[in-house]
């Protein structure tokens, strides 16, 4: 079997064979891999010109729906991925993390469309006034980079590693070429075939290089983005290539790190937190056979509890069964390849020179099924290091497998210091029921970690665990961990966009951003905006309401109806020493009265008002003040039909500007409405 590349719209073989890959359970031949001879300059250019052009024409809403459709499709095909995933040494749980975790990233990023405008680009933040008269303002927009994302991924997550990255760049409107590890690229290839055959993504938006990929970043330019997941050493070499430096190419490095888990001083044997800690450490040592960039490598324990932890952890590891994942009862599979066995063994032997093995054996361990000689099996190895400030290999050497080290600490300050000795981690966890301990640790250790998990009995059942990065939270870490940042929900998408400041008249900025800017034209709406369908509404169209003079009786009546008898509204004798000159109208009365003034009550295209954003009461309103409302179409966001029977509609944001007889604004708010479309077929 030849594991093929998908580039420039077709499947193709590389020249010769760069690598033969084997089933890590039984040693059977899986296939040969090669990307030698591929024209990377043309491949990158194809992605930019074909895939990038198509994606940039789509709005965030359309891209989000595209990802949702892809996720639903892949979810329906996942059985075939599980079947092949076993060849990588993965148990069903390991495969679930890789396959369904990856598909979950597509779903999560698809849902982010609701946080973006109905445009191909993003409007960032608020306008900045740049002149006294208000005729000159500044703003920021973020547009998709007109390059390609080059993703160089590790061997341990051949599906999740790809999907968690492309979900973000596709949502941003940027194409990608994915280079998975050649050792497990056969699983990535299977999924990419399914993606391409589904024809959900525009052609050119995803390409695949399954071989070694030598030279793939030689032709990147300043509009491209490179991401790398793997060893810190390889990552630094790639990041320092002349082409990357000279073109200022963004390079996101997510490297394996010496992550820690800390047992709080309160979590003594017999407490739920002690049991949670033991279970979590054992899980992180054995899930994916310890081949996770987030796995626990250093187990930090109060020195008076280290013997208890060692006994409990050894007992739990002894119940772990290693072997063929297809056999009932097997809880840990194999490493991804025989090469990984040699690499992990080499680092374990280095660690043995400075610390004691308290569980496991490099050679003498049993497996169930599989082939111990041809497969890539490895025993869990637990070390103990009683002098972690003197014997520091544990803070510098990582064995990327089921290997971890018990380390004692005297107090919380020392625990933080030991965590810092890892020189930057993707994640550290602390297991404690004491919120004071949790707070002190998090504040002191956050600077050296990309993520901190605080675990206790209250959240343990629903916790995703120490080793699970989540798509809506950032994944990465400082120092040894690479200094990169990926995923993170909306934050991750913004990494693929170019932020540009724009300056001009409010009307021009309104035209560019498709969001009403104060100072832009406000032509009077005709007919009333509540009589217009979604497609008919124009940004800036405004309803200028009739006026109303606020009376003291209005304030008293609202206090009676609402029950809001705050002294400033009802007791004129209590105003001394306050900012108020008289009884002041309730802010919510002003907003409620404004609604009565701007609403057209007859049945029409407006289906409902479902929220208020950015509500501010900026000037006191006293009895005798006359108010009016400028009610302006601020922004429009299309919304998909959930079914054939669903009403075709969109979201319209209206700016509510309540002003007094001097023309000054007294209250501002944005209301969100759901408005029927004229064309019900869309």
Same domain, 140 and 123: yes
- Please tell me whether residues 103 and 23 are part of one structural domain: yes
Q: How confident is the model at residue 575 (pLDDT cuts 50, 70, 90)?
A: confident
- Looking at the 3D structure of the chain, how many domains does it have? 3
- CATH assignment of the domain containing 670: 3.10.129.10
Q: Are residues 227 and 366 in the same domain?
A: no
Q: Where residue 116 sits, what CATH number does that domain have?
A: 3.40.605.10
**Domain boundary at 463, 497, 531, which?**
497
Residue 588 included in any domain:
yes
- Verify that 217 and 300 share a domain, yes or no: no
pLDDT in tens, 416-446: 999 999 999 999 999 999 999 999 999 999 9
Q: Are 436 and 531 found together in one domain?
A: no
Residues 6+ apart with CB under 8 A from 497: 121, 122, 142, 143, 144, 145, 172
In a domain, 593, yes or no: yes
| CA dist 57 → 66, 70, 196, 320, 559 (Å) | 13, 19, 20, 52, 52
Q: What is the DSSP string of 444-481?
A: HHGGGBS-EEEE-TTTTTT---TT---TTSEE--SGGG
- For the cut 80, the answer to whether the pLDDT of residue 682 exceeds it is no
Task: Give the mean pLDDT of 505-512.
Answer: 94
- The answer to whether residue 514 is domain-embedded is no
Q: How far is CA 587 from CA 595, 619, 669, in A?
A: 13, 10, 11
Residues 359, 397, single domain; the answer is yes
Residue 178 · residue 159 · CB < 8 Å = no
Residue 515 lies in a domain: no
The predicted model gives 330-349 an average pLDDT of 91
Residue 681: pLDDT over 80: no
Looking at per-residue pLDDT, the higher value among 474 and 412 belongs to: 412
More confident residue, 483 or 222: 222
478 falls within a domain: no
User: What's residue 254's pLDDT?
Assistant: 84
Catalytic positions, please? 254, 293
Rg of the chain over Cα atoms, rounded to whole angstroms, equals 30
In this prediction, residues 357-384 reach a mean pLDDT of 92
pLDDT at residue 151 in the model = 95
pLDDT given for residue 434 in this prediction: 94
Q: What is the pLDDT of residues 443-456, one digit of tens each?
A: 999 999 999 999 99
Average pLDDT over residues 4-14: 95
pLDDT 10s digits, 383-409: 999 999 999 999 999 999 999 999 999
User: Are both 386 and 338 inside the same structural domain?
Assistant: yes
Residue 272 sits in the same domain as residue 132: no
Which band of pLDDT confidence, cut at 50, 70 and 90, is reported for residue 293? confident
pLDDT > 80? residue 170: yes
| Pair (574, 637) in one structural domain | yes
Does residue 282 sit in the same domain as residue 398?
Answer: yes
Does the pLDDT at position 156 exceed 90?
A: no
Provide, rounded to the nearest whole percent, the portion of the chain with pLDDT above 90: 72
Mean pLDDT is lowest, of 78-82, 228-232, 396-400, 678-682, for 678-682
Asked whether the beta carbons of 431 and 276 are under 8 A apart, the reply is yes
Average pLDDT, the chain: 92
Residue 516 lies in a domain: no
pLDDT at 574 over 90: no
Q: What is the pLDDT of residues 110-122, one digit of tens each?
A: 999 988 988 999 9
SS (H, E, C) 588-610: HHHHHHHHHHHCCCCCCCEEEEE
Within this chain, do residues 612 and 642 fall inside the same structural domain, yes or no? yes
pLDDT tens digits, 202-237: 999 999 999 998 999 999 999 999 999 887 788 888
Helices (H), 471-522: 490-494, 506-513
Please give the average per-residue pLDDT across 28-46, as a whole number.
93
Is the pLDDT score of 609 beyond 80? yes
Specify whether the CB–CB gap between 508 and 515 falls below 8 A: no
Q: Decide if pLDDT at 312 tops 90.
A: yes
305 pLDDT band, cuts 50/70/90, is: very high
Q: What is the CATH number for 319?
A: 3.40.309.10
Judgement on whether residues 233 and 292 belong to the same structural domain of the protein: no
Burial of 619 (0-12, 13-18, 19+ CB in 10 A): middle
CA distance 238 to 152: 10
**Which range of residues forms the domain containing residue 327?**
259-471
């Amino acid at each position: 079997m030849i594991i093929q590349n998908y580039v420039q719209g077709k499947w193709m073989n590389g020249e010769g064979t760069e690598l033969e890959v084997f089933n890590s359970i039984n040693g059977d031949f899986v296939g040969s891999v090669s990307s030698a001879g591929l024209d990377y300059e043309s491949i990158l250019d194809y992605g930019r010109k074909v895939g990038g052009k198509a994606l940039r024409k789509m709005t965030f809403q359309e891209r989000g729906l595209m990802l949702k459709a892809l996720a639903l499709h892949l979810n329906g095909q996942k059985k075939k991925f599980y079947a092949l995933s076993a060849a990588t040494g993965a148990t069903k749980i390991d495969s679930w993390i890789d396959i369904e975790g990856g598909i979950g990233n597509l779903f999560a990023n698809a849902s982010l469309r609701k946080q973006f405008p109905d445009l191909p680009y993003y409007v960032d933040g608020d306008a900045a006034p740049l002149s006294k008269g208000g005729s000159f303002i500044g703003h920021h927009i973020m547009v998709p980079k007109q390059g390609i994302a080059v993703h160089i991924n590790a061997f341990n997550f051949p599906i999740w590693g790809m999907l968690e990255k492309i979900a973000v760049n596709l949502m941003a409107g940027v194409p990608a070429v994915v280079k998975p590890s050649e050792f497990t690229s056969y699983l990535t290839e299977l999924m990419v075939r399914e993606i391409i055959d589904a024809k959900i993504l525009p052609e050119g938006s995803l390409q695949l290089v399954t071989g070694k990929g030598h030279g793939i970043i030689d032709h990147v330019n300043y509009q491209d983005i490179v991401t790398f997941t793997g060893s810190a050493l390889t990552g630094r070499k790639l990041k320092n290539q002349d082409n990357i430096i000279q073109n200022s190419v963004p390079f996101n490095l997510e490297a394996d790190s010496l992550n820690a888990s800390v047992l709080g001083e309160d979590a003594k044997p017999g407490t739920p937190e002690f049991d949670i800690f033991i279970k979590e450490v054992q899980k992180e040592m054995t899930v994916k056979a310890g081949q996770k960039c987030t796995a626990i490598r250093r187990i930090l324990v109060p020195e008076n509890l280290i013997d208890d932890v060692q006994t409990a952890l050894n007992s739990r590891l002894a119940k772990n069964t290693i072997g063929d994942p297809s056999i009932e009862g097997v809880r840990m599979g194999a490493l991804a390849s025989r090469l990984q066995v040699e690499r992990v063994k080499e680092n374990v032997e280095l660690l043995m020179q400075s610390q004691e093995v308290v569980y496991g054996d490099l050679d003498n361990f049993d497996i169930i099924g599989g082939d111990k000689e041809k497969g890539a099996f490895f025993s869990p190895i637990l070390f103990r290091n009683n002098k972690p400030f003197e014997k520091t290999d544990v803070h510098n050497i990582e064995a990327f497998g089921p290997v971890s080290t018990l380390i004692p600490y005297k107090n919380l300050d020392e625990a933080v210091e030991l965590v810092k000795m890892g020189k930057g981690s993707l994640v550290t966890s602390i297991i404690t029921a004491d919120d004071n301990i949790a707070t002190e640790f998090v504040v002191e250790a956050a600077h050296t970690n990309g993520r901190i998990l605080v675990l206790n009995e209250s959240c343990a059942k629903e916790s995703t665990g120490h080793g699970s990065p989540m798509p809506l939270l950032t994944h990465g870490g400082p120092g040894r961990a690479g200094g990169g940042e990926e995923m993170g929900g909306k934050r991750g998408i913004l990494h693929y966009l170019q932020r540009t400041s724009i300056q001009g008249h409010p009307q021009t900025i309104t035209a560019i951003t498709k969001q009403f800017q104060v100072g832009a034209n406000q032509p009077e709406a005709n007919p009333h905006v509540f009589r217009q369908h979604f497609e008919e509404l124009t940004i800036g169209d405004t309803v200028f309401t009739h006026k109303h003079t606020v009376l003291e009786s209005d304030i008293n009546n609202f206090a009676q109806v609402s029950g809001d008898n705050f002294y400033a509204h009802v007791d004129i004798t209590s105003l001394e020493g306050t900012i108020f000159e008289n009884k002041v109208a309730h802010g919510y009365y002003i907003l409620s009265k404004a609604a009565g003034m701007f609403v057209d009550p007859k049945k029409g295209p407006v289906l409902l008002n479902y929220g208020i954003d950015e509500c501010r009461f900026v000037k006191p309103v006293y009895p005798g003040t006359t108010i009016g409302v400028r009610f302006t179409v601020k922004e429009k966001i299309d919304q998909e039909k959930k079914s054939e029977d669903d009403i075709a509609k969109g979201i319209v944001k209206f700016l509510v500007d309540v002003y007094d007889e001097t023309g000054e604004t007294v209250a501002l708010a944005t209301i969100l409405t759901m408005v029927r479309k004229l064309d019900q077929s869309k």
